[in-house]
Amino acid sequence: AKLLNQQFGFAEANVTQLIGPPKDPSKIPTRANIVKGFETLIAMAGTGDKVFILLSGHGTQIPVPQDQDPLNPKNFEPDGLDEVFLPVDVKVENEQLQNHILDNEIGRWLNKIRVKGADVFVVFDCCHAGTMTRGGPLDVERNRTIRPQELGVPDTAISDAVARAEVARKKAEKDGRNPEAGAAKVRPRNDPKSQGS
């Protein structure tokens, strides 16, 4: 915040920090507060604005829902696992992770800000951050994670999701389709139509 204010000229009123655990509940990095923060940025953003976002915390991977095709271009997860950011109020209920933030949600929020003409600089200091917006070279990315099993997601849910993805991949290949081509069908990030995807 000090760097943004003093070196880059961001007004103090325009810098929001969610750092826990402060006494003010609106300043704790819960899912609801992070969502509200992004919604506020989207509402305020305009042409030529400079937006800086730092998400620092933990991430993990969770199984793609059973009713979802892991090769669906809108959420292309050929390994059967979805990357997520973990706010402080993340929990597991009925073997399902709650209050997490999917990488696709973050992508949609960033798209909405960019469509309004703002320039966005994002730093992800968290596990599985490499593909939050676009992947970097594998030799640059460092694999750190909280195992989903440590959060209460059962081993069977992970292995089932991975197996479903493998079946979908093999079926696509058998049908003469390139499973990796599915990712290329996603709209460009600066396409206004991508806001609703």
- Known catalytic residues? 58, 127
Q: How far apart are CA 106 and CA 125, in angstroms?
A: 14
Which residues touch 64 (CB under 8 Å, ≥6 apart)?
70, 75, 77, 80, 81, 82, 161, 164, 165
CA dihedral sign, ordered 26, 31, 34, 39: negative
